Amino acid sequence: MTTPLRLGIAGLGTVGAGVVKIVQGQADLLEARCGRPIRIAAVGARTRNRDRGVDLSPYGWEDDPVALAKRDDVDVYVELMGGSDGPAKASVEAALAAGKAVVTANKAMLALHGQALAEAADAAGVPLRFEAAVAGGIPCVKALLEGLAGNRVTRVMGVMNGTCNYILTRMEGAGLPYDDVFREALDLGYLEADPTLDVGGIDAGHKLAILSAIAFGQRVDFEGVTLQGIERVSIDDIRRAGDMGYRIKLLGVAQAGANGVEQSMRPTLVPADSPLGQLEGATNMVVIEGDAVGQIVLRGAGAGEGPTASAVMGDVCDIARGCAVPVFGVPAQTLAPARRAATASPHAHYLRLSLRDEPGALARVATILGEHGISIDRMRQYDHDGGDAPVLIVTHPCRPAELDAALGRIGDVPFVAGTPVALQIQGV
């Protein structure tokens, strides 16, 4: 019999249990595909005596993930605990130092320590794989690393936090304000233990920084991601954006230009009839553009037992087959230092303001925009209905700095009630 590949699995939550189920339930299929059996040698979690719906009795048990990572009978350390530092990082470092391959679903750890871990993996000559860290079951890491290796990637976009997409599409569908839907999502158990990771865009920002490193051959630069969460997206803007033919998504965009790499994760308008615009509920989507391939769109479940375990097992199978791809696509030492773009590239913007019913109010706003070199593409004013009138403006592409300067002045105009809202529109 050929030599089995032996796994040590740390973390037996939803994803860990899902991995055990696949290894147990698909043993023949995995062996046929990998040319060798996949076995579990040992597992570990914070609590031992809990019903996880899987039989763990055949496996060794380790309370200490570092000890699990270093076990002689473990070939691949599968880290499914999470957390950017602490036991997850310590055990992954221990595994790499001991010459073990590592598979992880830990986006925060890779976003913050990806370079050091990739260098450690290269130094040990072992794989470090992380398909499950980005967009759950969607094989977007593999797509970038392998299928698109012949391309110069120009842009990567993604809706990579299912909870935020659930909240935004539910607000729209039910006509509910953010706070109500946030509470619903909390009750449904959709949110991370620290909800800011989801609604603040941090979780999705981690994922974007990881994809960006592969796409543009640069060191992971999470600090370079401009982050804005969905907490201030109003049902008004969702409705008004819809009137103008757009939907609001928590959209990640990483793009390379002469100027450097721009990375942002923020509420963004996309055309309602585009694949991104049509994305409903907790589903994720990753859009990749390359000079040779054009645009590809990958859509699927971004979280959950089956999809995330599927991604982990894809990595395990690659290791079993002996596939060797550098962690971020090129040897870690040759990844370029992050090249942050000095100035943001121009984009069309959606503006919403409330104007008092006074002669010259709209003209004053248009004049200020014009004085900052911002041209209006489309505009719509609703009726005053006894009070201030909402005005929607879609601009031609302009730089955020020009827009900020104009909005600063518009906010001071006495005809304008409240603070104007400005959101970027992404051409997709």
Contact residues for ligand HSE, defined by CB under 6 A: 161-163, 192, 198, 203, 302-303
Q: For residue 95, which of 212, 6, 191, 14 has the smallest C-alpha distance?
A: 6
E strand residue ranges, 228-281: 246-257, 260-271
Question: How far is the C-alpha of 40 from the C-alpha of 317, rounded, in Å?
Answer: 13
DSSP assignment of 284-346 equals EEEEEEETTTEEEEEEEE-SSHHHHHHHHHHHHHHHHHT----TTSS-GGGSBPP-B-SSPPP
Phi then psi for 194, rounded to 5 degrees? -105, 100
Question: How far is the C-alpha of 224 from the C-alpha of 3, rounded, in Å?
Answer: 44
- Least distance CB 114 / ligand HSE (angstroms): 16
* Helices 178-187 and 162-174: angle between axes, nearest 10 degrees: 130
**Both tokens assigned to 4:** 């089995």
Question: How far is the C-alpha of 56 from the C-alpha of 41, rounded, in Å?
Answer: 10
- Least distance CB 183 / ligand HSE (angstroms): 16
Cβ proximity to ligand HSE: between 8 and 136 the closer is 136
CB 380 within 8 A of CB 244: yes
Residue whose C-beta lies closest to ligand HSE: 163
The distance from CA 338 to its chain's CA centroid, rounded to whole angstroms, is 18
- Least distance CB 80 / ligand HSE (angstroms): 12
**Both tokens assigned to 234:** 């109003």
* Helices 107-124 and 202-216: angle between axes, nearest 10 degrees: 30
Phi then psi for 84, rounded to 5 degrees? -70, -25
Q: Is 106 helix (H, G, I), strand (E, B) or coil?
A: coil
- Least distance CB 398 / ligand HSE (angstroms): 32
Instruction: Provide the residue type at 281 as one letter.
Output: G
> Which residues participate in catalysis according to the annotation?
207
Long-range contacts of 63-67 (CB under 8 A, 24+ apart): 65/10, 65/90, 65/91, 66/90, 66/91, 66/94
